[in-house]
Structure 1
């Protein structure tokens, strides 16, 4: 994995690297490998992941074909969640 640092902006490059690693599932993989996983637990986990992927794909296909409605997109409000609570 390669991340270029532009104009000595290491913080931005680190942020980009973390986002890239999150998308690739590296953090999930590291957490999973932290401790031993029994083969039976591994089978159960992999089967659950396959079911989740199949459902997600089926939902996308159904939305594309118009069988179910697409989820409504929530409007994003600028600065939401950043306001400090007012005490007093």
Structure 2
């Protein structure tokens, strides 16, 4: 991953990098790896994530049909 610094604006470059890392899911992976997670907790977390994804997709589909 690469971010260019323009006009010595390091603050903006850091914001862009952070946004890219969040979009890629790097921060979430780091957060998950901090502590050991039992297999049952992993399964539950993945189920919650898939439900969240499904709800978000359904909400977006509803918003498209209403427009």
Shorter-chain-normalised TM-score: which range? 0.7 to 0.9
In the TM superposition, structure 1's runs of 4+ consecutive aligned residues that sit over 6 Å from their partners are none
Give aligned pairs, total.
67
Post-superposition offset of 1:52: 0.7
5+ residue gaps, structure 2, are none
Task: For 1:1-88, list aligned pairs within 5 A.
Answer: 1-66=1-66
The alignment's TM-score, normalised by the length of structure 1, stands at 0.66
Q: Which has the higher contact order (CA 8 A, sep 6+)?
A: 2
Q: Which has the higher helix share?
A: 2
Q: Over aligned residue pairs, what C-alpha RMSD do you find?
A: 1.6
1:63–1:12 Cα change, 3 Å: closer
Bigger Rg, which one: 1
Please give the TM-score of this superposition, normalised by the length of structure 2. 0.83
